Structure 1
Amino acid sequence: MHCPACHVDDTKVVDSRLAEEGSAIRRRRQCVGCAHRFTTFERVDHVPLTVIKSTGDVQPFDRAKVVAGLSAATKGRGVDDEALEQMATRVEDAVRLRGSEVTTSDVGLTVLDELRCVDDVSYLRFASVYKNFNGASDFNREIELLEKTSAPQPS
């Protein structure tokens, strides 16, 4: 790290602490050459996340679209905006772990997993659009799957 005062490249860290709610580290540094003190911040540099659509088109990941989908699915179900933001963050984090390119299918299935844990009705609303339900039999099949995966396992 170069000193901003004398441009010597030998500095020492005097103090480190978490900043920005844990998403950065604030470091207080001192120049070995001129004793000037200054602050630096260390943050994670995320690789851009792109989504490959079913048509083959590639788009940047849009967190707002995830929030909008979650919001539509949970409308009137007592899920507040903060919970929606937390779910969207978990969705983004989960798909980011799969690499810098993900498919819309990856995103959709991850959203379904989030909704399954929050509310059955919201899950079914999202599933009906995502899986393109055509009739009541599709809802029945999905409810049966939901009950199988939600049922407590015998010990």
Structure 2
Amino acid sequence: MKCPFCGSLDNRVVDSRLSKDNTAIRRRRECLHCGRRFTTYEYVEEIQLMVIKKDGRREPFNRQKILEGIKKACQKRPISIEQMEEFVSELEHQYQEAGLKEIPTSDIGEKVMAKLHQWDKVAYVRFASVYRDFKDINEFMRELEEILAHKKER
């Protein structure tokens, strides 16, 4: 394992344990070159999920890519990294359990938007504006009006 601080390949495992959701092994490592510690996760390699892009291309499911999109939407919002990581793990697990080999990006995007809508309306609108590719301010305003109308119903 390459040290993220100095790039050395010499390190030792200090501690190993199961992750909270029991889907990975969490390893605490110490670099033998610079002495700094870092954490790695080992996941069981399961059936490779493929994502069908809007233009028909297929690419491997990338949990990190989904997590980065969620992190951008949730920037400076009261949502913890743990919540985000747990959601992405649950999402990946759902697809694995369903036995699907290919997932349209639209399905992933809708599930992410539903979770963000539940967590935080600002993060939801941020994600929706990129995901739905709003062409002008009117489309953006319609989305905001829907949120406000839904809020008033409660």
TM-score bucket (shorter structure): 0.5 to 0.7
Aligned positions of 1:4-153 closer than 5 A: 20=18, 22-23=22-23, 46-96=46-96, 97=98, 99-149=100-150, 151-152=153-154
% of aligned pairs identical? 33
Counterparts of 1:91 and 1:103, CA distance in 2: 13
C-alpha spacing 1:99/1:77, structure 2 compared with 1 (3 Å): same
**3-state DSSP of counterpart to 1:105:** helix
Cα offsets for 1:78-131 (capped at 9, x unmatched): 222111101212332344437110011111111111101110000000000111
Unpaired runs of 5+ in structure 2? Answer: 1-16, 25-42
Task: Give the Cα separation in 2 of the matches to 1:72 and 1:81.
Answer: 11
The residue number in structure 2 matching 1:31 is none
Give the gaps of 5 or more residues in structure 1: 1-18, 25-42
Distance between the aligned counterparts of 2:136 and 2:91, measured in 1? 28
Query: Is the 1:94–1:110 contact (alpha carbons within 8 Å) kept by the matching residues of 2?
Result: no
Amino acid at match of 2:54: S
TM-score by length of 1: 0.64
**In 2, are the aligned partners of 1:95 and 1:110 still within 8 Å (CA)?**
no
Q: Assess, with a 3 A threshold, how the Cα gap between structure 1 residues 94 and 110 changes in structure 2: closer, same or farther.
A: farther
Map Cα deviations across residues 1-26 of structure 1 (whole Å, 9 max, x no partner). xxxxxxxxxxxxxxxxxx935449xx
Residues 98, 70 of structure 1: CA spacing in aligned structure 2 closer, same or farther, 3 A cutoff? Answer: farther
What is the alpha-carbon root mean square deviation over aligned residues?
A: 2.6
Aligned length: 116
Larger gyration radius, structure 1 or structure 2: 1
